[in-house]
Chain A
Amino acid sequence: MIAFLVRRLLISAVLLFLVSVISYGIIATAPGAKVRALGEMDPKKLQSVQKKLEEKYHLDRPIYVQYLYTMRDLFTNRLMSFSDRPVTAQIGDRLPKTLLLNAVAIIMVLGFGIPLGIVGARWRGGTRDALVAFASFTLIALPNFFVSFLLCIVLVKYVQVPILGLSTFGVNYESWAKQLLDTGWHLFAPALVLSLPGVAVYSRYVRASMIESLGEEYIRTARAKGLRESIVYYKHALRNSLRPVITFIGFMLVGMIGGSVIVEMIFNYPGMGRLAYEALLMRDIPTLMAINFFSAALVILGNLLADILYSVVDPRVRLE
């Protein structure tokens, strides 16, 4: 187990390095001015200020030197955004909020995806299965941003779901419970949109896995023993079919971190995805680089977690 972890961590380090090189290459070679003293077309632009700024952020150096500077500053926690804010302060502000949103979304995916999958498997071929399948495929087929905009209008206009910020503006709550409910309510719309495709895919996954388990010998044995159907389903079949499904959580985290950029923009959620988008518009290389790096680290960590979870739930799997 320890050998496995060490090896995986080493591989992860190499992977992170490659990710950082590639992403820096893409960000830094994108067309357009890199650091702007003023808007590109401002008559008041002073060449000497522009030049000094480029020097300050090492943009006058070859790209690999720029990369080395950026990585050095990132690891020594000195990396400053182009608006002179430490990137760790920026990300520290936003990352917890993105993680919270993703956590709520994952809870919703698991909470709704597993029962829907079970329903599909248990009444396989029936009306209930068909309904679940229809809903799932519709959700998978519809583009996420489109559903988001529609939901945005419907939820805000007719259900008065708040979409700005994390708590109701100008309201003080006496108890933490109400504060929690308020925050939860603010998370509702973005988490719903973020989790919908997850629920759709996940329920298909659970269903398939369950159907596979139901065809196994031990199910026949269980039925032959005269066990009740519900015990056969929920004890024997479900337990085994959830194993592959658990690894899926790791991948889900990956997909959501990417998806939260769009969702955070549309629902105006103050998370890391919006920070990334705004940094992209500003061509703020250090901030983008740091966000990329943290996201990549999270993704790799998610995968590692999935592997470890898998070995925990399935004793046949040995991590070596």
Chain B
Amino acid sequence: MLWFRRFIFIFPLAIIVFFLCAYLLVRSGKEVNENAMVQGSIGEPENINPIRATTTSASDVTGLVFNGLLTTDEQMGPKPSLAKSWDIDQTSRMFFNSEQDAQAVLESLQQAGPSIRIDQVAREGTTLNYSFSNSAGPGYQASLVNALKDHPPRPVWLITITPGAGGKFPDGGEVKPLDIFKRIESALKPADGDAVDAVLVNHYVVLDSQLEIVGHGPREAIEGVLKKLLATDDKEKALAEYAVEDFTAQDRPVYTFHLRDNVMWHDGEIGGKKYAPAKFTSADVVFTYESLVSPEVLSPRAADYVLVESVTAPDPLTVKVVYKKPYSVALNSWMMDILPAHVLKGKPIDWWGENFDRAPIGTGPFKFGYWKSGELIKLVRNDDYWEGRPNLDAVYIRYISEQLNIQLALETGGIDFYSVEPHAVKRFEDEGRFELFRFLSRGYSYIGWNLKRDIFKDKRVRRALAHAVNIDEIIEYKLYGHAEQSTGIYTPHFWFANPKVKLIEYDPEKAKALLAEAGWTDTDGDGFLDKDGKKFKFELITNNNEIRRDIGVIVQANLRKIGIDVELKIFEWSVFIDQYIDKQAFDACILGWRVGIDYDMYQLFHSSQADEDELNFCSYKNPEVDQLIEKIRVTFDREKLKEMCWKLQEIIYDDQPYLWLFVSEATVAMHRDRAGRSIMRVYRPADDGKWVEEPIRVVPAGMGLYMPFWYRTTFPPQAAPGKPALPAVGAKGGVQ
């Protein structure tokens, strides 16, 4: 039994010896000498299929593996990518009551033709088709109005019908989009010849769940049919909801993309099957569009494509996209990454999840390598990248679940760079081992006032509150100076952002004066403002985010100084959104928006979007703003758009439905090499065969740094085929 005694005491010693050996021997392995970049990321993507993923951690990967037809330029405008160029034209259709009317308008347009730059006009029975490029002359609208004065066209409508859940027609038929359409069609052509004076031109089923009809004729006629058809005994509830939009003409913008012919899909292996490189063609674009709107794929990006009427490929290098109605922001949706049709076509959706979504094939600068779940994703260089061969051999993205660990990984060299938190910036700066890159992040924080509450209805009160909150203090103490005051609905990155918005400054005296003007004074001497016997008091809510919570505290103190009583409440995120924001059950809230590259503000500030569960949850309603938002959606001219967006930003900022707080600044800390400069440089081959260094470029589109042509300087330089070796800077390198 004494062996047992020995064992009991030797065993822990053995454990200690094992770990000691590990400690001493662990680094004696052979380091893989790779010219690689190692990135850290706090969240792991759920999948890396660009049309199905929703997280930024996924777009970090898909941005390197895939390309869209377009990408963004420095000012976030569209820039060629897979499409080398594009044209925007418009074809329009007008419907008349008689052929004579149509002929008369045709003739008057033909006369004015050259001066108003209408390319083609043709008549087909009572229908007039005409097309023009978007550089149509300024006289276009006027001549059209003039021509139509004596020959009014029939109104065109676009009707959207959304069936309710589980409803049935009186004869037992299911209320499905296509069934609804058939019934409308037959209702318009009754057997007894007493036809309704309405004509259907086209219909579309959106994602199996919505029906859209384009037609013309008196609006009452079609609405009468719809009302009769969709009515139920239950007066409260129709079988389906519908919305009708009226137009004079059916304007259909046409985007023609001319694709590059030197783009190849990566080779790769998915689910045990090998795929050889294949040529990228217009069929891939058509397939990507079909997948985006497929009711099987259920892409979260589908909303961008519901206005598309058709996507066709007239030849392998041309893609033609026709829209149902003008929507100028639509161009941005073609920045969507394109999927390979030769891999995915005909595959069931269930196959995607475990295969393509985790091992994609794209056209981008890097090919997918492998994915160790919970650890890292490796991407390898695509030698045949159409923009030129990337300098790095590989990119690693390591998934690290804790902020502290990412920082430790950065300090110990486990990752090359990372966007550090505001409070840590100073420390990284002082250390000297890091070069810092600063850029504004694409989003802003704000306090939203619920404009349904009486106290916030007065604009003077809202402006007074803005004067009373010390934003500089928030920026200085909470963000350590790494932010700037927000100027409203657009952040300064964009070509359509107004740089001259007149900011409301911190001025408590002015705030008091404005409040007094609005009738808020301290009449009972209790230190709080009151009006009609009611104290100025409200609840400020936010989610349990440290920065927002502290902003709440600062705001509370700021407003207490001018006699306003603020009660701060903190909720868990989904409770906060579900129970308070979506239901509009709050006085004021602290939130932030991440802004996309679209200038369209319809969902956020249009008065039609102020119902429950909609995004204008502050119930901001301004007819001037509504009009401007609607006009922006159908304007294509960049200069005009800029003018309108500037105005929109100014008006909304002036109205202060939100108290715009700040746009924060991101700081990326990157290791320095032995030469004392950042470990990553950008080198591009120039025409004379030499390498030209470019500064590291910040791309707000990906909210980070543009990296396809990065080059790791601590690595023995390598030459691209037919190119001289890259300049050597540091000494021996490798990935630690």
Q: Which residues of A contact B (CB under 8 A)?
A: 30-33, 36-49, 51-53, 56, 60, 80-86, 89-90, 93-94, 97, 107-108, 111-112, 114-115, 118, 149, 152-153, 156-157, 159-160, 162-166, 168-174, 178, 181-182, 184-185, 188, 230-231, 233-235, 238-239, 264-271, 274-275, 277-278, 282-283
Q: Are B373 and A93 in contact (CB under 8 A)?
A: yes
How far apart are the CA atoms of A187 and B208 in the complex, in Å? 51
Q: Are B206 and A48 in contact (CB under 8 A)?
A: yes
The distance from the CB of A199 to the nearest CB of chain B, in whole angstroms, is 10
Chain A residues with CB below 8 A from B14, complex form: 111
Q: Are B306 and A188 in contact (CB under 8 A)?
A: no
Q: Are A178 and B28 in contact (CB under 8 A)?
A: yes
The distance from the CB of B491 to the nearest CB of chain A, in whole angstroms, is 15
Stretch of B89-97, B400-408, B550-558, B623-631 at the chain-chain interface: B400-408
Q: Are A231 and B1 in contact (CB under 8 A)?
A: yes
Chain B residues with CB below 8 A from A114, complex form: 8
Q: Are A89 and B354 in contact (CB under 8 A)?
A: yes
The distance from the CB of B293 to the nearest CB of chain A, in whole angstroms, is 10
Q: Is B224 an interface residue (CB 8 A)?
A: no
Stretch of B142-150, B310-318, B574-582, B661-669 at the chain-chain interface: B574-582
Contacts A84-B47, A185-B26; is A268 near B210 (CB within 8 Å)? no
Q: Are A182 and B1 in contact (CB under 8 A)?
A: no
How far apart are the CA atoms of A171 and B29 in the complex, in Å? 6
Q: Are B29 and A159 in contact (CB under 8 A)?
A: no
Q: Which of B350, B375, B577 contacts A41 (CB 8 A)?
A: B577
Chain A residue, CB-CB nearest to B575: A31
Q: Are A188 and B22 in contact (CB under 8 A)?
A: yes
Chain B residues with CB below 8 A from A115, complex form: 8-9, 11-12
Q: Are B578 and A43 in contact (CB under 8 A)?
A: no
The distance from the CB of A106 to the nearest CB of chain B, in whole angstroms, is 12
Q: Are B574 and A46 in contact (CB under 8 A)?
A: no
Give 10 pairs: A residue, B residue, CB < 8 Å, sorted on A: A33-B578, A49-B303, A60-B165, A82-B46, A94-B374, A156-B412, A159-B23, A169-B398, A171-B32, A268-B399
Q: Which of B298, B304, B372 contacts A165 (CB 8 A)?
A: B372
The distance from the CB of A48 to the nearest CB of chain B, in whole angstroms, is 4
The distance from the CB of B210 to the nearest CB of chain A, in whole angstroms, is 5
How far apart are the CA atoms of A33 and B575 in the complex, in Å? 9
Contacts A85-B353, A170-B32; is A235 near B1 (CB within 8 Å)? yes
**Besides the contacts A60-B165, A111-B11, what 18 more A-B pairs have beta carbons closer than 8 Å?**
A32-B574, A38-B54, A41-B615, A44-B304, A45-B303, A46-B302, A48-B207, A83-B357, A84-B352, A84-B357, A85-B354, A97-B374, A157-B408, A171-B30, A172-B30, A182-B26, A182-B29, A234-B2
Q: Is B409 an interface residue (CB 8 A)?
A: yes
Q: Is B274 an interface residue (CB 8 A)?
A: no
Q: Which 3 A-B pairs have the closest CB atoms?
A: A32-B574, A270-B374, A84-B353
Q: How many residues of B contact A (CB 8 A)?
A: 88
Chain B residues with CB below 8 A from A90, complex form: 373
How far apart are the CA atoms of A168 and B349 in the complex, in Å? 36
Q: Which of A43, A49, A97, A164 contacts B302 (CB 8 A)?
A: A49
Chain B residues with CB below 8 A from A84, complex form: 47, 52, 349-350, 352-354, 357
Q: Are A266 and B402 in contact (CB under 8 A)?
A: yes
Chain B residues with CB below 8 A from A107, complex form: 15
Q: Is B735 an interface residue (CB 8 A)?
A: yes
Chain A residues with CB below 8 A from B376, complex form: 165, 169
Chain B residues with CB below 8 A from A169, complex form: 38, 376, 396, 398, 414, 735-736
Greatest chain B CB density within 10 A among A85, A94, A266 is at A85
How far apart are the CA atoms of A239 and B2 in the complex, in Å? 12
Q: Which of A80, A172, A188, A238 contacts B353 (CB 8 A)?
A: A80
Chain B residues with CB below 8 A from A40, complex form: 574, 577-578
How far apart are the CA atoms of A81 and B350 in the complex, in Å? 12
Q: Are B374 and A271 in contact (CB under 8 A)?
A: yes
Q: Which of B375, B408, B581 contacts A152 (CB 8 A)?
A: B408
How far apart are the CA atoms of A181 and B300 in the complex, in Å? 45
Chain B residue, CB-CB nearest to A272: B374
- One digit per residue, 1 when the CB lies within 8 angstroms of any chain A CB and 0 when it does not, for chain B 656-696 equals 00000000000000000000000000000000000000000
The distance from the CB of A119 to the nearest CB of chain B, in whole angstroms, is 9
- One digit per residue, 1 when the CB lies within 8 angstroms of any chain A CB and 0 when it does not, for chain B 319-355 equals 0000000000000000000000000000001101110
The distance from the CB of B45 to the nearest CB of chain A, in whole angstroms, is 9
Chain B residues with CB below 8 A from A271, complex form: 374
How far apart are the CA atoms of A239 and B30 in the complex, in Å? 47
How far apart are the CA atoms of A56 and B306 in the complex, in Å? 21
Q: Are A83 and B353 in contact (CB under 8 A)?
A: yes
Contacts A168-B26, A169-B735; is A234 near B4 (CB within 8 Å)? yes
The distance from the CB of A154 to the nearest CB of chain B, in whole angstroms, is 11
Chain B residue, CB-CB nearest to A283: B574
Q: Are B54 and A39 in contact (CB under 8 A)?
A: yes
Contacts A44-B301, A165-B372, A238-B4; is A52 near B207 (CB within 8 Å)? yes
Contacts A80-B353, A268-B401; is A49 near B414 (CB within 8 Å)? no
How far apart are the CA atoms of A296 and B394 in the complex, in Å? 41
How far apart are the CA atoms of A184 and B21 in the complex, in Å? 10
Chain A residues with CB below 8 A from B115, complex form: none
Q: Among residues 401 to 450 in chain B, which have CB atoms less than 8 Å away from a CB atom of chain A?
A: 401-402, 404-405, 408-409, 411-412, 414
Q: Is B502 an interface residue (CB 8 A)?
A: no
Chain B residues with CB below 8 A from A275, complex form: 374
Chain B residue, CB-CB nearest to A46: B303
Q: Which of A31, A118, A164 contacts B579 (CB 8 A)?
A: A31
The distance from the CB of A44 to the nearest CB of chain B, in whole angstroms, is 5
- One digit per residue, 1 when the CB lies within 8 angstroms of any chain A CB and 0 when it does not, for chain B 379-406 equals 0000000000000000010111110110
Chain A residues with CB below 8 A from B22, complex form: 181-182, 184-185, 188
Q: Are A234 and B1 in contact (CB under 8 A)?
A: yes
The distance from the CB of B475 to the nearest CB of chain A, in whole angstroms, is 24
The distance from the CB of B177 to the nearest CB of chain A, in whole angstroms, is 10
The distance from the CB of A285 to the nearest CB of chain B, in whole angstroms, is 13
Q: Are A181 and B26 in contact (CB under 8 A)?
A: yes
How far apart are the CA atoms of A86 and B350 in the complex, in Å? 10
Q: Which of A42, A80, A239, A270 contacts B375 (CB 8 A)?
A: A270
Chain A residue, CB-CB nearest to B615: A43
How far apart are the CA atoms of A268 and B47 in the complex, in Å? 20
Chain A residue, CB-CB nearest to B13: A111
Q: Is B209 an interface residue (CB 8 A)?
A: yes
Q: Which of A108, A171, A181, A268 contacts B15 (CB 8 A)?
A: A108
Chain B residues with CB below 8 A from A51, complex form: 209
Chain A residue, CB-CB nearest to B573: A32
Contacts A31-B578, A48-B209; is A282 near B414 (CB within 8 Å)? no
The distance from the CB of A247 to the nearest CB of chain B, in whole angstroms, is 19
Q: Are B401 and A37 in contact (CB under 8 A)?
A: no
Chain B residue, CB-CB nearest to A30: B574
Q: Which of A43, A81, A188, A268 contacts B400 (CB 8 A)?
A: A268
Q: Are B306 and A46 in contact (CB under 8 A)?
A: yes
Chain B residues with CB below 8 A from A230, complex form: 2, 5
Chain B residues with CB below 8 A from A274, complex form: 374, 401
- One digit per residue, 1 when the CB lies within 8 angstroms of any chain A CB and 0 when it does not, for chain B 1-45 equals 110110011011011001101110111111110101010000110
How far apart are the CA atoms of A189 and B542 in the complex, in Å? 37
Chain A residues with CB below 8 A from B375, complex form: 164-166, 270
Chain A residues with CB below 8 A from B28, complex form: 178
Chain A residues with CB below 8 A from B27, complex form: 168, 171
Chain B residues with CB below 8 A from A48, complex form: 162, 206-207, 209-210, 302
How far apart are the CA atoms of A278 and B399 in the complex, in Å? 12
Q: Are A270 and B372 in contact (CB under 8 A)?
A: yes
Q: Are B373 and A83 in contact (CB under 8 A)?
A: no
